[in-house]
Amino acid sequence: MSHIGAVEPEQPQSLYADHKKVYPRAVSGRVRRVKWAVLILLLGLYYIVPWLRWDRGPGAPDQAVLVDMSHARLFFFWIELWPQEVYFLTGILVLAAIGLFAATSLFGRVWCGFTCPQTVWTDLFMWVERQIEGDRNARMKLDAQPMSGHKLMLKSAKHAAWLLIAAVTGGAWIMYFVDAPTFVRGVFTGAASLQAYFFFGLFTVTTYTLAGFAREQVCTYMCPWPRFQGAMLDDQSYVVSYRAWRGEPRGKAKADNVGDCVDCGACVHVCPTGIDIRDGQQLECIGCGLCVDACNDVMRKLHRPEGLIAFETLANIAASTAATQSMPACAERLEVGMKVRHVPKLIRSRTILYSAVLGVVAAIMLGAFLLRETVGLSVIRDRAPLFVRLSDGGIRNAYTIKMSNKAREVAHYALVLEGANTARLQVVAQNAQTDAQGRPVLETRPDGITEWRVLVTAPAGLALPQSIPVSFRLLDAAGRPVARHDSVFLGPER
Ligand code: SF4
Ligand code: SF4
């Protein structure tokens, strides 16, 4: 019961906003055509690449691109990376990140709007949805209807198609880690491993959920990128912008003293995130540019110049706004506003910085790749015992030598010891070979690591220091050193 004059307690404002389903309308135009082209190219590459073959010789996988987890190798056409070369992957990730920073500072959210997997698959799922349930109005009407046979059929067909795409997508991802034809055969015959089925199912469900249901919410709530990309943008970056100086005040096409925006809502209806670009720059805007196409279409129909919504820099928007703020809505206003625009500065401090870092990292990686050795040597000295005193008074140290051969052919290298010239080097192996100069010759197995036991013996009667630095070297047939590893030779305390 309330009393006259009593003050009702104020209800706290809810911070939670209900999710409103977005029904983007189909649109055609230049930007849409570019988006289709990018989508076809990226999806084509993603689905086809695991099926490309590359002959690496007997015993080696013939899949051109393969992350071979069981043998700890990464194959990329003619390149084969070993686990210790993972820094190349790190370098590629660093290059990709800096490239993304540079692209963002020049062209805004071009990654989000055109190439991000979430955008690409959501676009594909929306296209399928449109083919089955119709465009925006038909889908809204269908969702508002009670369940019927017709609705059930359309919904089932849509979800079946989505699941099929999701399964092909999830399966393609697995094929980057296992042989593609073997995996597909295994899935259909039940011979695939439990692990393969698990990840196949996981990526299928993930694709179905993210592209079918979560859609723009991934970009708005889950993805961290929109939150810190602002640090890469400045007023010279191209972003999708509404030219309010030209569009306002909004009004009917035939009304007097109004701007070019006829408030038709076309830009809002095509937006995959359901926002109104006329409200200014927003976190939710992924920069897809579909509102540009929608508005250009409206402008063409009204016989007005295109570009009311455009990829434009904030500096130009500010310049046009300042130049036209005291002008009424008229054709001269458009002329004046467009005339004060400047070509954006592509070369500015942040783009110079990104380009410099890109160049340095790329040069380092290229240098490391060109100088990459196909043979590696590691030496581990026995620690128990540190040394052995022989019956004749000599001192012996034992070592384990590991030779890695990244080539696909057997290779032979002479092993030499430097630093303890009077010591004798002996390889413990039944089939130990020596070259013409009596040096031990080690045979490597192709694409693998070969291990050898090596004894170094200092003859009796030498006044050796307790520790002598030594280095093991591998020489090729021409006597050129190809690998080296430093170690020590230990003797008794003096
Ligand atoms: S599409 Fe263009 S004219 Fe229509 S509401 Fe959007 S900005 Fe205004
Ligand atoms: S506002 Fe325009 S550019 Fe931004 S997400 Fe919506 S349609 Fe794409």
Which ligand has the minimum distance to the alpha carbon of residue 306?
1
Q: Are residues 73 and 179 in the same domain?
A: yes
Q: Choose which residue among 263, 299, 303 to substitute to test ligand 1 binding: the one with the highest number of ligand atoms within 8 A of its C-beta.
A: 263
Question: Can you say how many angstroms the Cα of residue 410 is from the centroid of all Cα atoms in its chain?
Answer: 36
Index of the ligand 2 atom closest to the CA of residue 309 = 2
pLDDT at 159 over 80: yes
Give tens-digit pLDDT for 16-73.
777 789 999 999 999 999 999 999 999 999 999 999 999 988 888 999 999 999 889 9
Give tens-digit pLDDT for 186-241.
999 999 999 999 999 999 999 999 999 999 999 999 999 988 888 899 999 999 99
Q: Give the end of a domain, one of 318, 339, 360.
A: 339
Query: Side chain identity at 375, as an amino acid letter?
Result: V
Query: Side chain identity at 61, as an amino acid letter?
Result: P
Which ligand has the minimum distance to the alpha carbon of residue 258?
1
Q: Are residues 55 and 197 in the same domain?
A: yes
Give tens-digit pLDDT for 388-432.
999 999 999 999 999 999 888 898 999 999 988 788 999 998 777
Are 487 and 379 in contact by the 8 Å Cβ rule? The answer is: yes
pTM comes to 0.85
Q: Are residues 276 and 133 in the same domain?
A: no
User: What letter does residue 147 receive in the DSSP assignment?
Assistant: P
Give tens-digit pLDDT for 385-399.
999 999 999 999 999
Sheet order of strands, 73-76 included: 65-68, 73-76, 79-81
* Inside any domain, residue 274: yes
* Inside any domain, residue 356: no
Collapsing DSSP to helix, strand or coil, 18 comes out as coil
* Inside any domain, residue 370: no
Count of C-beta atoms within a 10 Å radius of residue 261: 22
CB contact set of 365 (below 8 Å; sequence gap of 6+): 88, 91, 92, 95
Which residues lie across from 21 on neighbouring strands?
A: none
Number of domains present in the structure of the chain: 3
Quickly list DSSP for 148-215: -HHHHHHHHHHHHHHHHHHHHHHHHHHTTTS-HHHHHHHHHHT-S-HHHHHHHHHHHHHHHHIIIIIT
Q: Give the end of a domain, one of 196, 229, 262.
A: 229
Centroid of ligand 2 to alpha carbon of 41 (angstroms): 22
Q: Are residues 193 and 245 in the same domain?
A: no
Q: Look up the domain containing 299 and give its range.
A: 234-339
* Inside any domain, residue 22: no
CB contact set of 198 (below 8 Å; sequence gap of 6+): none
Q: Is 121 exposed, middle or buried (0-12, 13-18, 19+ CB in 10 A)?
A: buried
Q: Are residues 210 and 264 in the same domain?
A: no
Could you tell me the sign of the dihedral formed by the alpha carbons of 126, 127, 133, 138, in that order?
A: positive
